[in-house]
Structure 1
């Protein structure tokens, strides 16, 4: 007759098994990061063997487009042109762009056509810019991005050296409040846990990560694949398009551009929680079962290990189990202690690994691991809910088919 096992021990055994599996998956995802490329330096001399069309999409961006344009005006060859595609801004954005164009003839203001049914506004603006672009490469830049001098040449250098058809670049975050520096790094770690480190070996297509704030692609390749149409209905258009192209044979890279671009995307924790949290589950680019697998992974190997370690300490002190015991409860407790200690150590290591992604760190950044449960909760919320609004525009619920998932 088999000895009886308490429900608590059975629960602990099941938790240990699931956590061990997920921790193994996470380790395999992070291992390529050991050989990732270091942050790319700016290119200090012009190039003369290729051309780049930069596209900046705007809709009421007067409060932040100025530094972006100033940074672009400092670029030398291979920059051919800067196409600012505006969606009828009413806050002075157009006047700022026109003033910049008077100083630099490479800058051109374009007004996109009325938004067609089934398109997200930013993606339609990018498609409109692509139709006007003349460069060998097209480089999408968000209005909240501040390019360093030599950025354009550096991203093309990196793409050509590694043979990428498409490459995007992780930024350095600046201008964050202390509250943002506490929560946003925890949210960023969920992306690394789900997709791997920037600059590492190219993952499978369904794990490709991309950053639309600095997204470089060969113009002819985009045209061959229908431009931005594969991501027309996506709120995470950068990842959706990158994964679509990777599935169709393109070589896609995601590199560390923290020395090339700086981003001050949000003005408060609330705006960041709402706007970035809206789509950072990547539902438009990821099948439902992979999304929920990743939600479980984030909860069990990022958000909960510290809580589990504290619970183990309490139950050990209460005599429920002992690290030196030979009974099943003690073996399960010891196993959980090891697995969660490793998971928590990995999480603390991520603070060091990602430190260069933040222009200002301070105590808020170094304590951001305490916000892991909040980040996991936001990921869960985002996974459950389909966005219907962005940048003041309302949209009908968008289907996975329309946004290119699985195509």
Structure 2
């Protein structure tokens, strides 16, 4: 009886999240189309004359640490934006490589396009979350009405900033979370799994947002209105966390009534470099899971913890099955949920005509069968390690 109840709850939850995904997709499409159809600088009013509607200015904030080997793609993509109504603020966190020189070269090129660039260099950082400390130094320097966050190992499309501006013209939206996909660099299971895992994680987030229960996000594709930061008491009010992005979202949920919007359109997606080996990827994923399970916001903690518990219990049931066959509904529920996730991941994006070859593995039943079976086992291992308090690291330093 308990096993059947678990099956019903687990599969039902994933079916509801899948519905939330499509709700959020329609919401995002409607928001972008409404703002695109509206003449620039004009807003609609029922029974009123049209009034000017300003396009919000954007500050792109990036904290970097020894990114010389991979920051080039980000800098080039920022110069290719279809708008110049933005500035860039870089916080160089004690870099000892060529990062400072590359930033100075970028500043010169940006000035030719009337893009303001501010660079500050930190000489010390007490941690424990070094990136969060760097961001605390950078937020006060941002002059834009909207602050967009990304990382030095990312690449943004030419429509990234204009897409943020369209969505942030909606008065009720205070924070945007955008998709982050890992670029396929190699033909290997590690490369394929990283890409698959990243999309699955974001689709969970989109589904939760569609249901009005956002519980996390990717800090390398996020935008927040300065007014929202003021309402929570500034970025310094965000408590330290292994995942500073989830902590910021939690404060917005806890202290304000601003809406959090998950972007789905291709104009908003960001690409990031994959980890080069299993050890690096494992440490990255472990940090994400610890951030969710130990999030400062109680709602985030409960939602992420409940889902993690269900996945872990269902996956562990597979290993007990030979001795207790009545537990078959547990692993079956996990497998069916992963099939639903994978069908949405592949069929939906191809149906919508999205360019998926750069961030989704080539379709084959054996490959995707292996990916969807490995995903819950990998996630369950991370959950167990977080629960027994295995330390997490960021850029080689314990967080």
TM-score normalized with structure 1 length:
0.75
Distance in 2 (CA, whole Å) between partners of 1:36 and 1:114 is 42
Give the aligned partner of residue 23 of structure 1: 11
Quote how far apart the aligned CAs of 1:123 are.
Answer: 1.2
Give the direction of change, closer, same or farther, for the CA distance of 1:195–1:36 in structure 2 (3 Å limit).
closer
Quote how far apart the aligned CAs of 1:69 are.
Answer: 0.8
Q: Where does 1:180-191 land on structure 2 (aligned, <5 Å)?
A: 180-184=190-194, 187-188=197-198, 191=201
Q: Is the 8 A contact 2:215 2:304 kept in 1?
A: no
Give the aligned partner of residue 44 of structure 2: none
1:228 maps to 2:235? yes
Superposed CA deviations along residues 294-324 of structure 1, whole A, max 9, x for unmatched, are 33211245x368778x869x96xxxxxxxxx
Give the direction of change, closer, same or farther, for the CA distance of 1:112–1:76 in structure 2 (3 Å limit).
farther
Give the aligned partner of residue 238 of structure 1: 245
Quote how far apart the aligned CAs of 1:278 are.
Answer: 2.0
Give the aligned partner of residue 143 of structure 1: 152
Give the aligned partner of residue 157 of structure 1: 166
Distance in 2 (CA, whole Å) between partners of 1:25 and 1:138 is 34
Q: Is the 8 A contact 1:173 1:262 kept in 2?
A: yes
Quote how far apart the aligned CAs of 1:153 are.
Answer: 0.8
Give the aligned partner of residue 251 of structure 1: 259
Superposed CA deviations along residues 35-84 of structure 1, whole A, max 9, x for unmatched, are 231687898x9987320000111001111111001111112436321111
Q: Where does 1:6-405 land on structure 2 (aligned, <5 Å)?
A: 13-37=1-25, 49-77=55-83, 79-105=85-111, 106-112=116-122, 114-116=124-126, 120-161=129-170, 163-177=172-186, 178-184=188-194, 187-188=197-198, 191=201, 195=205, 197=207, 200-203=210-213, 207-248=214-255, 249-256=257-264, 258-260=266-268, 261-281=270-290, 282-285=292-295, 287=298, 292-301=305-314, 303=315, 343-355=334-346, 356=349, 359-362=359-362, 363=364, 364-365=367-368, 367-372=370-375, 373-385=377-389, 387=391, 389-395=393-399
SS of the residue 1:367 aligns to: helix
Q: Is the 8 A contact 2:293 2:305 kept in 1?
A: no
Superposed CA deviations along residues 216-261 of structure 1, whole A, max 9, x for unmatched, are 0011321332322243411111111112111222211222255432
Q: Is the 8 A contact 2:219 2:244 kept in 1?
A: yes
Distance in 2 (CA, whole Å) between partners of 1:71 and 1:179 is 28
Q: Is the 8 A contact 1:85 1:112 kept in 2?
A: yes
Distance in 2 (CA, whole Å) between partners of 1:169 and 1:264 is 16
Distance in 2 (CA, whole Å) between partners of 1:176 and 1:383 is 33
Number of residue pairs the alignment of both structures matches: 357
Quote how far apart the aligned CAs of 1:347 are.
Answer: 1.4
TM-score normalized with structure 2 length:
0.76
Q: Is the 8 A contact 2:196 2:360 kept in 1?
A: no
Give the aligned partner of residue 329 of structure 1: none
Q: Is the 8 A contact 1:139 1:215 kept in 2?
A: yes
Q: Gapped runs of 5+ residues in structure 1?
A: 1-12, 316-331, 396-407
Q: Gapped runs of 5+ residues in structure 2?
A: 42-53, 350-355
Give the aligned partner of residue 7 of structure 1: none
Superposition RMSD in Å: 3.5
Q: Is the 8 A contact 1:199 1:254 kept in 2?
A: yes
Which has the larger Rg? 1
Structure 1 stretch 132-141 or stretch 354-363: which is displaced more? 354-363
Q: Is the 8 A contact 2:182 2:198 kept in 1?
A: no
